[in-house]
């Protein structure tokens, strides 16, 4: 790795902010809430006591402020692991790279990432409007294959059991598994009704999540296989499109990460929340109370 990063590797805006996220190091808190939808950013920051930073570039909206004496950043990532790759790398750069001299700092800063998202349940006993915290992310996206030091994610016993039990098609990316932060999981699950389990991360919304419109699937029983998967005391509770990338990149970079999702659809029962916005707001307030007092 070069001692000084080139301008084509570490891309900055004319004002010195990081290229896509469009903020400077001093505008980022160490505790960061990740949401997919740009419109969800103000729905989180409305509960801040004060907001000191507002920024937007493309679908990436950032608000940094204070709640109960805790400095927090909420940022939208857009949908999918490809966007997560951009946002997590750039936020890590803000904390751990000297942007002026374009050199990696000798002492690293650990960030805390908490995803607040929506998700589909794969289990009959996890109804809509439930909150699910991901103890592990099961990735179908292939992102980790582009980074060194990820072999342990692919040789994980749960990943290998999943591949075997489901008869995973080899033309797809190899599944991998990454743990979330045990500390953050304990924080969110303390004295609460939050469900925990493995969150599967799909590479798309339609075919990769078993939805059929005009295109047929190569395995119409995949959702059934996901629901039925068991390994020791582990099962797949839900799936969405970001968690595995957040967990994988955070683990490689030495950060803490947890994904908390509101179940808006139960794929097993074919139901959808009658008031998803209320359930999402409940999750936001729940997470903010936990994070602001941690």
> For 48-69, what is each residue's pLDDT tens digit?
999 999 999 999 999 999 999 9
Q: Which is the CATH superfamily of the domain at 25-292?
A: Nucleoside phosphorylase domain (3.40.50.1580)
User: Quick check: helix, strand or coil at residue 63?
Assistant: strand
* Residue that is written with structure tokens 């409007």 in the block: 129
Confidence of residue 234 (pLDDT cuts 50, 70, 90): very high
- pLDDT at 183 (0 to 100): 97
- pLDDT tens profile 155-200: 999 999 999 999 999 999 999 999 999 999 999 998 788 999 999 9
Mean pLDDT of the chain: 96
pLDDT at position 167, please? Answer: 95
Percent of the chain with pLDDT over 90: 95
Is the predicted pLDDT of residue 207 greater than 90, yes or no?
Answer: yes
The residue with greater pLDDT, 28 or 294, is 28
Cα 114–chain centre separation: 7
Q: Is residue 27 scored above 60 in pLDDT?
A: yes
Helix axes 243-253, 81-96, angle to 10 degrees: 30
The domain limits of the chain are 25-292
pTM exceeds cut of 0.75: yes
| pLDDT bucket at 149, cuts 50 / 70 / 90 | very high
**Would you place residue 3 in the very low, low, confident or very high pLDDT band (cuts 50, 70, 90)?**
confident
Q: Is the pLDDT of residue 250 over 80?
A: yes
- Note whether 238 and 260 are within 8 A (CB): no
Q: What is the DSSP string of 80-108?
A: SHHHHHHHHHHHHHHHHEETTTTEE-SS-
Separation between Cα atoms, residue 60 and residue 17, nearest integer Å: 13
Tell me, what's the pLDDT at 230? 95
Q: Decide if pLDDT at 206 tops 60.
A: yes
Question: pLDDT tens, 78-132?
Answer: 999 999 999 999 999 999 999 999 999 999 999 999 999 999 999 999 999 999 9
């Amino acid at each position: 790795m070069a001692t000084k990063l080139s301008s084509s590797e570490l891309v900055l805006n004319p004002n010195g902010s990081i290229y896509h996220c469009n903020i400077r190091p001093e505008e980022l808190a160490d505790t960061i809430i990740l949401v997919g939808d740009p419109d969800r950013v103000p729905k989180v920051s409305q509960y801040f006591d004060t907001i000191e930073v507002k920024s937007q570039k493309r679908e990436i909206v950032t608000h940094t402020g204070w709640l109960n004496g805790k400095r927090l950043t909420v940022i939208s990532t857009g949908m999918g692991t490809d966007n997560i790759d951009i946002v997590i790398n750039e936020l890590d750069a803000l904390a751990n790279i000297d942007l002026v001299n374009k050199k990696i700092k000798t002492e690293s800063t650990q960030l805390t990432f908490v995803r607040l998202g929506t998700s589909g349940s794969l289990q009959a006993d996890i109804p809509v409007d439930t909150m699910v915290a991901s103890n592990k992310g099961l990735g179908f996206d292939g992102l980790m294959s582009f980074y060194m030091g990820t072999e342990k994610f692919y040789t994980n016993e749960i990943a290998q059991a999943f591949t075997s039990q489901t008869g995973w098609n080899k033309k797809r990316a190899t599944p991998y598994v990454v743990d979330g932060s045990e500390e953050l999981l304990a924080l969110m699950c303390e004295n609460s009704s939050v469900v925990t389990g493995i969150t599967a991360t799909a590479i798309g919304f339609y075919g990769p999540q078993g939805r059929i419109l005009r295109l047929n699937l190569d395995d119409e029983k995949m959702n059934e296989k996901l629901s039925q998967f068991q390994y020791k005391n582990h099962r797949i509770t839900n799936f969405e499109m970001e968690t595995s990338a957040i967990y994988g990149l955070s683990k490689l970079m030495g950060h803490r990460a947890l994904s908390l999702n509101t179940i808006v659809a139960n794929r097993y029962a074919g139901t959808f929340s009658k008031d998803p916005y209320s359930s999402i707001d409940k999750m936001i307030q729940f997470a903010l109370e936990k994070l602001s007092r941690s």
